[in-house]
């Protein structure tokens, strides 16, 4: 009887007794809305990035949206099309215009030359999206932003802990992070905005909670805690105390989880057949945290290849196809863009393999062996 295939999912959140206990403590406390654990989570996150301000909220999309709204951006924002649609959606819903620029083949990140070419007199901001755990070239992109006096926003949803020249993502501009279950750190749903600007942090904190500059927790200590006055027309983007408790505990494990991802990536690098796959790179001076391990297939029928992996119990997927500029809303709106040939090449060839900290060496070896075996059977 043939051996049953091993089951290796695409990803699994790394949760254990510490998170369960923290959530139970919050539930027992009765303080379920924004509360003490939010402050602990924010403090740990800011310390990890060596930044003065971190503001937690319900999603990275909200952080991206508020990074634009709070800083009055209404003109053009340069952004890659090779990203999740939330990056562009945040620009549109904030009342600005996305301008799609091409990316580098090796990293999937914004090509600084394409950024420079996309700048017009209407450009107000650059939104760098750090793809799959590798930091964009923030030295060059930051220099371009400074030279043209443009706001710099980092969509760091996939790159918590990634760095260039020792500066972690979120430390170059206004940082926006995601805590979705597929990310390096999870709260289920959640996000964080980071900044060096105290005034921006205070404004964002107010916008997250209906435009009121004090939180419920802070007002508890006042003589008249019921007094609430909106300084801005804000939103309800708050993260609950329950989910913040998850985040605070995940922060204690983040360095170890990222180290495990990096170790798995090295094993993949050694085991995968480069005849069929272009593998991820880690540029000199950069630290890759492998939120995803993405290969580019060479001469394969990708749909057939993914089906073969599924048959062997492997949870592989594609990130990102279709690219944003071809999706119905953006294609019909005809948003400005330059040549996007690399974006389209990547979208047509990329495959995301299983990646999560709890993988074993045997899991990684099994995925690599099955990928190597399936590839010759899936030639175009």
pLDDT digits (tens, 9 = 90+) for 175-219: 999 999 999 999 999 999 999 999 999 999 999 999 998 776 665
For residues 270 and 231, state if they share a domain: no
Structure tokens at 224: 């008249």
Asked if pLDDT for residue 2 goes beyond 60, the answer is no
For residues 118 and 232, state if they share a domain: yes
For residues 264 and 347, state if they share a domain: yes
User: Which three-class secondary structure string do you get for the chain?
Assistant: CCCCCCCECCCCCCCCHHHHHHHHHHHHHCCCCCCHHHHHHHHHHHHHHCCCEEEEECCHHHHHHHHHHCCCCCCEEEEECCCCCHHHHHHHHCCCEEEEECECCCCCCECHHHHHHHCCCCEEEEEEECCCCCCCCHHHHHHHHHHCCCEEEEECCCCCCCEECCEECCCCCEEEEECCCCCCCCCCCCEEEEECCHHHHHHHHHHHECCECCCHHHHCCCCCCCCCCECCCCCECCCCHHHHHHHHHHHHHHHHHHHHHHHHHHHHHHHCCCCCEECCCCCCCEECCCCCEEEEECCECHHHHHHHHHHCCECCECCCCCCHHHCHHHHHHCCCECCCHHHHHHHHHEEEECCCCCCCHHHHHHHHHHHHHHHHHHEC
Q: Which residues have C-beta within 8 Å of that of residue 373, sequence separation ≥ 6?
A: none
**Residues annotated catalytic, as ranges:** 183
Among 11, 62, 320, CA closest to 181: 11
pLDDT score recorded for residue 60: 98
pLDDT digits (tens, 9 = 90+) for 148-185: 999 999 999 999 999 999 999 999 999 999 999 999 99
**Stretch 309-323: mean pLDDT, rounded?**
98
**Stretch 332-346: mean pLDDT, rounded?**
87
- Binned at pLDDT 50, 70 and 90, residue 337 comes out as confident
pLDDT score recorded for residue 229: 83
Asked if residue 135 belongs to a domain, the reply is yes
| Distance separating alpha carbons of residues 156 and 136, to the nearest angstrom | 10
For residues 206 and 263, state if they share a domain: no
- Binned at pLDDT 50, 70 and 90, residue 335 comes out as confident
- Binned at pLDDT 50, 70 and 90, residue 1 comes out as very low
Asked if pLDDT for residue 225 goes beyond 80, the answer is no
Which CA distances in Å does 309 have to 6, 278, 279, 291, 378? 11, 18, 17, 20, 11
For residues 160 and 119, state if they share a domain: yes
Q: What CATH number does residue 342 fall under?
A: 3.90.1150.10
Asked if pLDDT for residue 364 goes beyond 70, the answer is yes
Residue carrying the six token digits 């939104």: 127
Domains identified in the chain, total number? 2
Phi-psi bin for 133: left (phi > 0), alpha (psi -120 to 50), beta? left
Among 243, 253, 132, CA closest to 190: 243
The neighbouring-strand residues paired with 353 are 293
For residues 310 and 236, state if they share a domain: no
CA 311 to chain centroid: 29
Q: What CATH number does residue 197 fall under?
A: 3.40.640.10
Question: What's the whole-number average pLDDT of the chain?
Answer: 95
For residues 264 and 249, state if they share a domain: no
Asked if residue 7 belongs to a domain, the reply is no
| Distance separating alpha carbons of residues 228 and 362, to the nearest angstrom | 56
The neighbouring-strand residues paired with 24 are none
For residues 284 and 264, state if they share a domain: yes
Give percent of the chain above pLDDT 70.
95
- Binned at pLDDT 50, 70 and 90, residue 338 comes out as confident
For residues 242 and 276, state if they share a domain: no
Asked if residue 10 belongs to a domain, the reply is no
- Binned at pLDDT 50, 70 and 90, residue 146 comes out as very high
**Stretch 103-109: mean pLDDT, rounded?**
98
pLDDT score recorded for residue 217: 62
pLDDT digits (tens, 9 = 90+) for 16-61: 999 999 999 999 999 999 999 999 999 999 999 999 999 999 999 9
For residues 247 and 283, state if they share a domain: no
pLDDT digits (tens, 9 = 90+) for 344-354: 999 999 999 99
For residues 84 and 183, state if they share a domain: yes
CA angle 55, 200, 197 (to 5 degrees): 95
| Distance separating alpha carbons of residues 228 and 226, to the nearest angstrom | 6
Asked if pLDDT for residue 243 goes beyond 80, the answer is yes
Domain range enclosing 312: 255-378
Q: Are the C-beta atoms of 8 and 315 separated by less than 8 Å?
A: yes
For residues 96 and 64, state if they share a domain: yes
Asked if residue 104 belongs to a domain, the reply is yes
């Amino acid at each position: 009887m043939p051996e049953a295939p091993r089951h290796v999912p695409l990803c699994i959140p790394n949760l254990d007794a510490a998170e369960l206990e923290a959530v139970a403590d919050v539930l027992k406390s009765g303080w379920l809305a924004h509360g003490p654990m939010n402050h602990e989570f924010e403090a740990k996150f800011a310390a990890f990035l060596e930044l003065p301000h971190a503001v937690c909220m319900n999603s990275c999309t909200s952080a991206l949206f508020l990074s634009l709204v709070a800083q009055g951006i209404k003109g053009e924002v340069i952004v890659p099309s090779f990203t999740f649609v939330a990056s562009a959606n945040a620009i549109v819903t904030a009342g600005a215009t996305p301008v799609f620029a091409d990316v580098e083949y090796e990293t999937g990140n914004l090509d600084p030359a394409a950024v420079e070419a996309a700048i017009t007199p209407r450009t107000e901001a650059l939104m760098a999206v750090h793809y799959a755990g590798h930091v964009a070239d923030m030295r060059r992109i930051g220099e371009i932003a400074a030279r043209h006096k443009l706001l710099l926003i980092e969509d760091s949803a996939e790159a918590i802990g990634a760095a260039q020249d020792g500066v972690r993502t979120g430390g170059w501009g206004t940082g926006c992070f995601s805590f979705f279950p597929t990310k390096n750190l999870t709260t289920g749903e959640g996000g964080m905005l980071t900044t060096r600007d105290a005034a921006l942090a205070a404004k964002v904190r107010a916008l997250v909670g209906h435009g009121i500059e004090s939180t419920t927790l802070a007002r508890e200590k006042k003589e008249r805690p019921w007094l609430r006055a909106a300084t801005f027309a804000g939103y309800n983007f708050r993260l609950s105390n329950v989910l913040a408790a998850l985040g605070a505990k995940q922060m204690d494990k983040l360095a170890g989880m990222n180290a495990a991802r990096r170790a798995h990536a090295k094993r993949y690098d050694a085991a995968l057949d480069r005849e069929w796959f272009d593998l991820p790179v880690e540029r000199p001076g950069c630290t890759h945290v492998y939120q995803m391990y993405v290969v580019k297939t060479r001469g394969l029928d990708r749909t057939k290849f993914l089906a073969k992996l599924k048959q062997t119990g492997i949870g592989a997927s594609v990130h990102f196809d279709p690219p944003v500029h071809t999706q119905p809303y953006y294609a019909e709106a005809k948003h400005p863009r330059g040549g996007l040939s690399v974006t389209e090449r990547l979208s047509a060839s990329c495959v995301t393999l299983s990646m999560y900290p709890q993988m074993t060496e045997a899991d990684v070896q099994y995925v690599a062996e099955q990928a190597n075996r399936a590839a010759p059977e899936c030639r175009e």
